[in-house]
Structure 1
Amino acid sequence: LKNVSCLWCTTTKLCLTYPAKTILPPHSLCPLNDARWGLCWMNFKILIITLSVICGVIIISLVICMFCCCKCENFGSKRFEAKMQRRADKTKAKQEERRAEMKERHQEIRSKYGLSGPNPYSKFS
């Protein structure tokens, strides 16, 4: 890109100063199919379409990346929550098992010393 201020018009064969006030050159100055800017072989219409497609691909890829990151983050947190739930269930099961063993041991002690179940101070008859 040597002369970026030049807008080459193939119909008039003139290098016009690029109108900086407008994004696209007006049709009265030069039709888009005949306007060349930056590269002599690429007309303005193709340049606009190419830049639009590139921007669209970049935006779509960013949206896909953001979606994948959010999905993976949620998947990881769900997996972590499931792991913590399994750990809590395992701890609760061990606690219930210990509680049952303790009740059984207490019952054995009560029966050994002749105490009845609900009231530990009453003797068997």
Structure 2
Amino acid sequence: MCLWCTSNKKCIEYPVRSILPPSSVCALSSARWGVCGGRKRAKSKPDREDEKAAREKEQRRVRQEERRAEMKSRHDEIRKKYGLFKEENPYAKFENN
């Protein structure tokens, strides 16, 4: 586990022998737990894991859209079969031209 010290802008290994970091390491008000990796990673370019996660997310989104369209089609067929298909509103407002 790491510790980010905002006062000196350094990431250090968390001193596991003590519950709170000693003031000689970092002032308690400046200590941030577990954020070192995020800070270092934010500056670097996206790595393979990030790219792979983005690709997988996009593939899931595409599959979900396909499933959604398929389910809509299936439901529309069932609605037509039982005469429940939503048609144009027969009570649409007349236009007086």
Bin of the TM-score, shorter chain as denominator length? 0.3 to 0.5
Structure whose residues are more often helix by fraction: 1
So what's the TM-score if we normalise by structure 2? Answer: 0.39
Asked which structure has the greater CA Rg, the reply is 1
RCO comparison, higher one (Cα < 8 Å, 6+)? 2
